[in-house]
Structure 1
Amino acid sequence: MTNYCKKKTGAKLNGFAYKSNILANDFFFAGLAKLGLTNNTLGATVTTANVLQITGLNTLGVSMARIDYAPGGLNPPDTHPRATEIVFVLEGALDVGFVTTDNKLFSKTIKKPVAGTQRVAGALFASSPTVDDAVLTKAFQVGTEVVEKIKSKFAPKK
């Protein structure tokens, strides 16, 4: 297992002290399983799970968060430079919006599990507007005929 850093002592890497005695507990955090209080101004609470809570994540570029909402609750606009955000709704529905770096807004209402799932194949081969064939052929290193064949499998049945 790779060495990582911990906040307490020693030489620093990524702002956290180097640790060589890695324990299984360094990769565990029970906080995401706990309900957050929503009786505040925004009607929402964010519980983060990053290197501060899960010390084994240091240098891995991984973090997670749980957001609990009251009906009508709001998580204010925020940014995640060079990061990915995945939204999973356990109960109810959530209006989610993402603004790209070229200021395009993508929004969607996500309902409890499965309804908000984004399948990679459908996103790439059945999107509207479509992903350019040249991008798909280069990304997957296949010919245009293979891309067209895959796209045809997603065409609406007549």
Structure 2
Amino acid sequence: MPSFDIVSEVDKQDLRNAVDQANKVVSGRFDFKGSDSRIEQAEYALTLFADDDFKLDQVFDILNQVLGKRSIDVSCLDKGKIEKISGNKVKQTITVKTGVETELAKKIVKLIKDSKIKVQASIQGEAVRVTGAKRDLLQDTIALVKKSITDFPLQYQNFRD
């Protein structure tokens, strides 16, 4: 039976390259000369450092532009609160969301079942597996989920006949 998985993933190497490129842009900009503005990465957690709130927003905008150019969906970023560190310096932690959360997975399964398309959807860890008798039904399901779930980046993988 044909099947596919609905997942939400961000390639770690692409993310690392984007962070490196954003740091290069920040270090080369004239308005950041002499400031300690940078982005640090630990797995899927990014920490933005800057001298003040305005520069922190500028660093975040640069990161968004670079991620957009690398086709990483910026809606997977979850901004934390801005914290003051020594002096006027500030930092902000940004979490890169990966995996389909349980609530979203339940919402996707309910959406598929309510649509009356003859496919079965099941939650498998951080992914939703959709199985159907025909390939056309699976393609209809992908179109339905793409149209309905727009607030979270989803990918459709492991399409098997």
Q: Which has the higher strand share?
A: 2
TM range (shorter): under 0.3
Q: TM-score, normalised by structure 2?
A: 0.23
Higher Cα radius of gyration: 1
